[in-house]
Amino acid sequence: MRTVSDRPAIEVRDLHKYFGELEVLRGIDFRVQHGEVVCVIGPSGSGKSTLLRCINLLEPPSSGHVYVGGVEVTHPDVDIDAVRRKIGMLFQAFNLFPHLTVLQNLTIAQRRVLKRDKTEAIRVARDNLARVGLSEKEGSYPAQLSGGQQQRVAIARALSMGPDLMLFDEPTSALDPELVGDVLAVMRKLANEGMTMMVVTHEMSFAREVADRVAFMDGGMIVEEGEPAQVIGSPRHARTRTFLRRVLDPAAAEVGEVPDTGPAPRVDDAATPPAPRTVHGHYPG
Ligand SMILES: Nc1ncnc2c1ncn2[C@@H]1O[C@H](COP(=O)(O)OP(=O)(O)OP(=O)(O)O)[C@@H](O)[C@H]1O
Ligand SMILES: [Mg+2]
């Protein structure tokens, strides 16, 4: 397997994906550089999750090429397990094992997949639990944690595998509003540490503050991408403006009074998620 370090962390070329007759990705060209944080926004059904899932081959692309760290994952001879070990993936659902403690959830894949010995796996797990502010929960079972805590455990579990990059698919959208800030704070910290991140999110304030770049998807295409202040603050395309108006002012969208002209409302004015809170004394670092 060839790795070329000067290649982007993620490179997608002319990616198409069909589900039966339905073409859900219609020629995506997209890159994420090492250390870059890219937020992907767009309406429901626009293909955001499918794009993420094609990057680690959870969905096989219909045509086109995907490279991760310079390795072509769409090449027929690729060792996809080796590529996936480099990619941390976070979903809306946390997918923790309910019958295992937090610590066991963090060590099981390290031991089975990376063949780490028990002492090393526990050391790595504890380091990463500290990173997400949940050291004292290592003996708890997932059902004993809040949704936000479970999602932070899921982040710590992904980090324990030592990924080169992280893919997030709406990691906060299943959470009660007051729990969102803690998870976003962990993600912000990861971004500040230089982790390469591709984040599908509806959290516009997070995208605006943390992303190096924002890509807006609609109808299986990337309609526009650029600096967050530009894409969110003064989008070029009418479709982006319409979407942002709906996200930033859902009440207006529900009654169908959303004209497709004029600037989008400023992100600061609406839909600001709760400010991150410091929990358990040693977080965020
Ligand atoms: N496994 C599948 N089989 C058939 N159609 C699918 C499958 N997965 C997704 N689709 C369809 O592909 C399109 C894109 O779906 P996708 O989940 O990528 O959208 P999305 O942008 O992530 O939406 P959301 O914001 O609701 O999560 C949708 O029309 C969806 O119904
Ligand atoms: Mg989705």
Residue written as token pair 């959290």: 203
Report the nearest atom of ligand 1 relative to the CA of 47: 18
Q: How confident is the model at residue 258 (pLDDT cuts 50, 70, 90)?
A: very low
Ligand nearest to the CA of 20: 1
- Cβ–ligand 1 contact at 19 (below 6 Å): yes
Rounded Cα distance, 7 and 22, in Å: 32
Q: Which residues of 6-23 are buried (b: 16+ CB within 10 A; e: fewer)?
A: ebbbbbbeebbbeeeeee
**Ligand 1, atom 28, residue with closest C-alpha:** 45
**Mean of pLDDT values over 42-71:** 95
Q: How confident is the model at residue 253 (pLDDT cuts 50, 70, 90)?
A: low
Per residue in 90-129, pLDDT tens?
988 888 999 999 999 999 999 999 999 999 999 999 999 9
Q: What's the predicted TM-score (pTM) here?
A: 0.87
For 281, residues 6+ apart whose C-beta sits below 8 A from its C-beta are none
Report the nearest atom of ligand 1 relative to the CA of 53: 18
**Least confident residue range of 8-17, 55-64, 151-160, 258-267:** 258-267
**Mean of pLDDT values over 2-18:** 84
Per-residue confidence (pLDDT) for residue 5, from 0 to 100: 58
- Max CA-CA distance within the chain? 60
Evaluate whether 101 touches 157 at the Cβ level (below 8 Å).
Answer: no
Per residue in 37-56, pLDDT tens?
999 999 999 999 999 999 99
Report the nearest atom of ligand 1 relative to the CA of 170: 27
Angle between helices 102-112 and 118-131 (to 10 degrees): 130
Q: Which residues of 105-122 are buried (b: 16+ CB within 10 A; e: fewer)?
A: bbbbbbeeeeebeeeebb
Burial class (CB in 10 A: 0-12, 13-18, 19+), 152: buried
For 279, residues 6+ apart whose C-beta sits below 8 A from its C-beta are 133, 182
Evaluate whether 65 touches 74 at the Cβ level (below 8 Å).
Answer: yes
Q: Show the tokens assigned to 193.
A: 């540490």
Per-residue confidence (pLDDT) for residue 117, from 0 to 100: 97
Q: Which residues pair with 26 in a beta bridge?
A: 16
Per-residue confidence (pLDDT) for residue 124, from 0 to 100: 98
Dihedral sign from CA coordinates of 158, 159, 165, 168 = positive
Per residue in 216-252, pLDDT tens?
999 999 999 999 999 999 999 999 999 999 988 877 6
pLDDT tops 90 at residue 2: no
pLDDT tops 70 at residue 274: no
pLDDT tops 80 at residue 267: no
Q: Show the tokens assigned to 78.
A: 């690729």
CA of 157 to the centre of ligand 2 (A): 22
